[in-house]
């Protein structure tokens, strides 16, 4: 199927052609006709399936072709994180470049003044995080009485981040007569309950169930103790085929620690997590997208919605305690039919997480072996090869020793052998 077969208008087809879009993804193919027909939609799809275009394209077409002369916000897209909100707005700008629709993204962590100035000039499509939206609604800067379309994106992440009550408050202030589009990667009971309360006889679309999206990605798990994770990470990053890597930790403190360790051995690295300012997070993401920074370390909440073309590797420095999160993480690579590689580190305390992940994806992940490590558990403890020194691998670099032929870390593993 081609985009022309979806009965899209010429301005949108031209924009898609300019952006290099050739064929719709399965969720776009299924969702666009439903949304153009005016029906509510319940979509089960995760990041990387093309769902942003699946709702943004038909919204732009519906608003562009209507004859309404009323001013006001016509479409509202609610999303849990600032990064995802920015990316959605950027996509809307691409798809709607040949229309006269005005769009705006609003989020917290930055001054509201520029956002309010743009609201005063008039906005057709508003992308927002719940907290900042409620603030501006309470101040009277945002009025939603003309709203025609509501999109709730990443609903399960809204639940995880504690935004569901904010979402419910927002919904009480918008017209009951509207079209509602609801997207979530997973459908726990609370999310299904929320969906049933705001959708009107929706069409259901499910694409790439979470357990199957991992099939196209080459996965390897290295069973090593925590003390061996840092040198193993540096060793992997020193390989020539690791062009770019998104490294996941469970905590913000853990992310900062990994960045500090990698910078010490000369690997250009930045972190993205909730304690960073919005400007710092966006700068780190842009540097990573532009190839200025080869490694980006992230927590799950901060990384949700990050869409980076041609990402070669995802590395789970720490396994997540929710198995679906593992699939979301590794799904950042291997997009649009491309191959991807995911490395995971599993220490003795994470073995239960690994079992849950393998149960979800219905297969055993290949156990990796790589010099200088023996990555098999002896009981519950991973052991280093006798010839390999264990312990403190990171020493302060001497000037002029930070480069390597592979473009990797340039650091060497050294340190004292410690008793275990």
* Nearest Cα residue to 326 out of 289, 365, 378, 294: 365
Looking at residue 32, its pLDDT comes to 96
**Averaged pLDDT, 61-85:** 87
pLDDT at 286 over 90: no
Higher pLDDT, 40 or 225: 40
Looking at residue 11, its pLDDT comes to 95
pLDDT at 392 over 50: no
Looking at residue 209, its pLDDT comes to 59
The C-alpha atoms of residue 46 and residue 63 are separated, in whole angstroms, by: 26
Looking at residue 122, its pLDDT comes to 93
Express each pLDDT in 41-68 by its tens digit: 999 876 667 889 999 999 999 999 986 6
Looking at residue 47, its pLDDT comes to 64
pLDDT at 388 over 50: no
What would the two tokens of residue 393 be? Answer: 């691998």
Q: What does the chain come to in residues?
A: 420
Looking at residue 70, its pLDDT comes to 76
- Structure confidence at residue 338 as a pLDDT band (50, 70, 90): low
**Averaged pLDDT, 225-250:** 90
Number of Cβ within 10 Å of residue 277's Cβ equals 10
**Averaged pLDDT, 184-194:** 86
Mean of the per-residue pLDDT values of the chain: 82
For each of the domains in the chain, give its residue range(s) and CATH number, in order of start.
3-206 (3.40.50.300), 213-384 (3.40.50.300)
Express each pLDDT in 211-220 by its tens digit: 555 677 899 9
- What pTM did the predictor assign? 0.62
Looking at residue 329, its pLDDT comes to 85
pLDDT at 418 over 80: no
């Amino acid at each position: 199927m081609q985009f022309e077969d979806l009965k899209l208008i010429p301005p949108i087809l031209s924009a898609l052609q300019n952006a290099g879009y050739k064929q719709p993804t399965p969720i776009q193919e299924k969702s666009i006709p439903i949304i153009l027909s005016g029906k509510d939609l319940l979509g089960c799809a995760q990041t990387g399936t093309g769902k942003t275009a699946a709702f943004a394209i038909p919204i732009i077409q519906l608003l562009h072709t209507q004859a309404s002369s009323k001013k006001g916000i016509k479409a509202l897209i609610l999303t849990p994180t600032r990064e995802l909100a920015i990316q959605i707005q950027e996509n809307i700008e691409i798809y709607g470049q040949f229309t006269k629709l005005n769009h705006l993204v609003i989020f917290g962590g930055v001054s509201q003044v520029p956002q309010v100035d743009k609201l005063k000039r008039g906005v057709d499509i508003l992308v927002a995080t719940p907290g900042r939206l409620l603030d501006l609604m309470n101040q009277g800067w945002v009025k939603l009485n003309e709203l025609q379309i509501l999109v709730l994106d990443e609903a399960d992440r809204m639940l995880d981040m504690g935004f569901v009550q904010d979402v419910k408050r927002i919904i009480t202030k918008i017209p009951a007569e509207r079209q509602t589009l609801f997207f979530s990667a997973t459908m726990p009971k609370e999310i299904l309950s929320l969906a049933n309360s705001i959708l009107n006889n929706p069409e259901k679309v499910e694409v790439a169930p979470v357990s199957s999206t991992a099939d196209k990605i080459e996965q390897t798990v290295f069973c090593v103790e925590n003390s061996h994770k840092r040198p193993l990470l540096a060793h992997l990053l020193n390989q020539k085929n690791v062009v770019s890597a998104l490294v996941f930790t469970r905590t913000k403190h853990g992310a900062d620690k990994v960045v500090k360790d990698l910078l010490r051995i000369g690997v250009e690295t930045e972190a993205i997590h909730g304690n960073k300012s919005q400007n710092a997070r966006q700068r780190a993401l842009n540097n990573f997208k532009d190839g200025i920074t080869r490694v980006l370390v992230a927590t799950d909440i901060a990384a949700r919605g990050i869409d980076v073309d041609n990402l070669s590797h995802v590395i789970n420095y720490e396994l997540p305690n929710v198995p679906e999160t593992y699939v979301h993480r590794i799904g950042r690579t291997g997009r649009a039919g491309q191959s991807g590689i995911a490395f995971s580190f599993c220490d003795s305390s994470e073995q239960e997480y690994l079992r849950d992940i393998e149960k979800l994806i219905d297969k055993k992940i290949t156990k990796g072996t790589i010099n200088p490590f023996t990555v098999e558990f002896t009981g519950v403890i991973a052991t280093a090869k006798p010839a390999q020194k264990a312990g403190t691998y990171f020493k302060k670099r001497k000037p002029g020793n930070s480069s390597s032929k592979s473009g990797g870390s340039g650091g060497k593993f050294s340190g004292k052998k410690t008793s275990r």
